[in-house]
Amino acid sequence: MKEVLSMDNVSYSYQTEDESAKKAVDGVSFTVQDDEWIAIVGHNGSGKSTLAKLMIGLLFPEEGDVNVFIEKLTEENIWEIRSQMGFVFQNPDNQFVGSTVQDDVAFALENNGVPFEEMVTRVHDALAQVNMSDFLDHEPHHLSGGQKQRVAIAGALALHPKLLIMDEATSMLDPQGRNEVIHLVEELKRKTGLTVISITHDLEEALLADRIIVMNKGKVLTIGTPEQIFARGNELEEIGLDLPFALRVSGLLRENGMELVGEHMTEEELVNELWTSHFSK
């Protein structure tokens, strides 16, 4: 597998009002491989959103290196590297610049000098990928939250990115909108091999990742598969993270004397276990 992004002992500090430095990211190292879905999780103040800014060159590290596509990210190459990346941010309303859906998806393509005929094709293809073709001429502010994030994802896909970074992209959506966006990204990754980095505090969302990076107080607490991470449920709760619903229910059932086989990461897994072992006999 090819390396897509890496951080090598990266640190970054913000200046506080009393002019002292507060370290938001402290000696962080990790590598993201091609075709991976990486979830970066942590409570507010853990440093995960600062990591997102460092990944896309909105900030540059005081110490260490950020490498994207095996190239050190610098002020000189940032625009070239960004042209191969797609971003989806927290507030969908802050991402719209076009008066219609198709204008908005075309905006970054125009900035990159994509010829008009190719631009039209890319816009239509990207909107089809996110099931928003029927909304070409709609005004963005008339869309639901989930639809707005679909359009934001289409804008990223139109650039034909190698890497999609989502920074709390579902945190302002209702449960239906959140599920729509997450399962859309899951399907796109499966079909296209897109590399995804999802920055989130939602551990239900992190279940879909290949690996999870847990941040706490600016440092990497641990890295592992969802199964490895959620086996340390008590530690996650100690740093302010809520375990996925199925794991919480499994824990309560065990506390009350019910025997369960293995860990149940999703509600579907838990229901199947309960039905097979306890209700179908």
Q: Which amino acid would we find at residue 112?
A: N
Give residues with Cβ within 8 angstroms of 92, minimum separation 6: 145, 148, 149, 151, 152, 172
| DSSP class of 106 | H
> Do the bridges between strand 63-68 and strand 163-167 make them parallel or antiparallel, or are there none, so unpaired?
unpaired
- 57 near 81, Cβ under 8 Å? yes
CA 6 centroid distance within chain: 16
| DSSP class of 69 | T
As annotated, the active-site residues are: 168
User: Which SS3 state, helix, strand or coil, does residue 242 take?
Assistant: coil
Q: Which amino acid would we find at residue 126?
A: A
- 43 near 240, Cβ under 8 Å? yes
Closest CA to 211 of 222, 274, 201: 222
Rounded to whole angstroms, how far apart are CA atoms 102 and 78?
Answer: 26
Residue 271 sits at φ, ψ, to 5 deg, of -60, -45
Rounded to whole angstroms, how far apart are CA atoms 26 and 6?
Answer: 15
Rounded to whole angstroms, how far apart are CA atoms 230 and 96?
Answer: 36
Rounded to whole angstroms, how far apart are CA atoms 25 and 47?
Answer: 6
Rounded to whole angstroms, how far apart are CA atoms 264 and 247?
Answer: 6
